[in-house]
Amino acid sequence: MIEPSAAPRTLRRDIVFAFALGLACWLAWLLRDVLVMLYVSALFAVVLSPMVRFTAQLRIRRWQPFKNCAVFVLLLTVAAALTIFGFLALPPVISDLHGFAQEMPSRLPAQLDRLKSIPLAQHLDTAALSSRLQDFVSSAATTLLFSISDWAGKLFDLVMGFILTIYFISEGDQAYRWFLSFFPLPAREHLDATLQRAEVRMGKWLLGQGSLMLILGVASTIVYLSLHVRYAYALGVLTGLLNIIPVLGAAICIALALLVAAIDSWGRVLGIAIFYVVYLQIENSFLTPRIMKSRVGLPGLAILVALILGSALEGVLGAMVSVPTAVLVSVLLDEYLVRKDVA
């Protein structure tokens, strides 16, 4: 049987194709925020799916209590952990902030006098600095008040991304099969096997990132306790959690810990600064290359480039998904573009 040949290319078909491609690119640019949210949600769903499957397969003898509600159990666990953290960590912080706000007019001159004891700071004009600090606090409060709408929008995006991630975990297999149906059967099987390998490596990235978060959280808590820093446990947990945001998460943790330590003692500030300098050197030169390379199979340079590109494109969100995206791109390039020598 002679198969019908493909329709010949014509100028009209080329013009229609070019117009359709341009229209699709224009729509993608208009909807880029939505597409980024969909991509990030799908990516997190792929990364978290092994954890959901592991929860579903937990057994008590022959009984699998979480077989049909693994996603709900995972959500409940995260919500319970955040609630416990909030009840334990926030009340003392709010109480101290309220007391500090009431005592700031009387304590600020004493703190500025302490600042003068630092070398090279004797010539500071404390009166002018005090006035500027009060102006800064008032302007910061005004800015925060007017930015509530922006924060509300960010919170809405976060909630929507969370909901999309849940839907992708529970119904992602149907969407995945629908996506594969656009490819002919031989190419479909090849692409399916490639994406399955990428999913395994992306799941290992979560284990590697979790290891880094745990190491930093435990080490930070030990240092905070040894230096008698306020809110040591809360700061330690927050430091570990924020480490999921590469580079920026560590910077936020350093600034927050130094600010809390500066309330009580400049010696504690120095101790925390020394700890973070040493730890960041160990993490960047030893922990991250070895843990991530062994988990995701990417060299340290590729991970660093992925972090830079992700941060430049989408800020914090781009940095968070940069490494699993690099894993996906690496697997696809290795399978479809890298030429392997045939023995």
Sequence-distant (6+) residues with CB within 8 A of 117 are none
Straight-line distance from the first to the last Cα atom of the chain, in angstroms, rounded to the nearest whole number: 36
* Cα–Cα distance, 18 to 12 (Å, whole number): 10
Give the pLDDT of the chain (343 residues) as one tens digit per residue.
444 555 566 777 778 888 888 888 898 888 888 888 888 888 888 877 877 877 777 777 777 777 777 778 777 887 787 788 777 777 777 776 666 666 666 666 666 566 555 555 555 555 555 556 555 555 555 555 555 556 666 677 778 888 888 888 888 788 888 888 888 888 888 888 888 888 888 878 778 888 888 888 899 989 988 988 888 888 888 888 888 776 667 778 888 888 888 877 888 888 888 998 888 888 777 777 677 766 677 776 777 788 788 878 877 778 778 888 888 888 888 888 776 654 4
Sign of the CA dihedral with 262 first, then 265, 266, and 270 last = negative
What per-residue confidence (pLDDT) applies to 51? Answer: 79
Query: What's the whole-model pTM score?
Result: 0.69
What per-residue confidence (pLDDT) applies to 343? Answer: 46
60 by DSSP, 3-state: which? strand
- Helix H segments across 117-228? 126-146, 148-180, 185-226
Cβ atoms of 107 and 133 closer than 8 Å? no
Cβ atoms of 271 and 228 closer than 8 Å? no
User: How many CA atoms, within 13 angstroms, populate the side-chain half-sphere of residue 343?
Assistant: 0
Q: Where are the domains of the chain?
A: 29-182, 187-338
Sequence-distant (6+) residues with CB within 8 A of 203 are 46, 47, 49, 50
For tokens 């600034």, name the residue: 255
Cα distances from 313 to residues 39, 316, 319, in angstroms, run 14, 9, 9
Give me the phi and psi of 60, to 5 degrees please: -120, 95
* Cα–Cα distance, 7 to 217 (Å, whole number): 62
What per-residue confidence (pLDDT) applies to 1? Answer: 43
DSSP string, 2-40: PPPPPPPP-HHHHHHHHHHHHHHHHHHHHTHHHHHHHHH
* Residue 185 in tokens: 């059967």
C-alpha of 183 from chain center: 33
Cβ atoms of 195 and 69 closer than 8 Å? no
What per-residue confidence (pLDDT) applies to 298? Answer: 76
* Cα–Cα distance, 74 to 19 (Å, whole number): 46
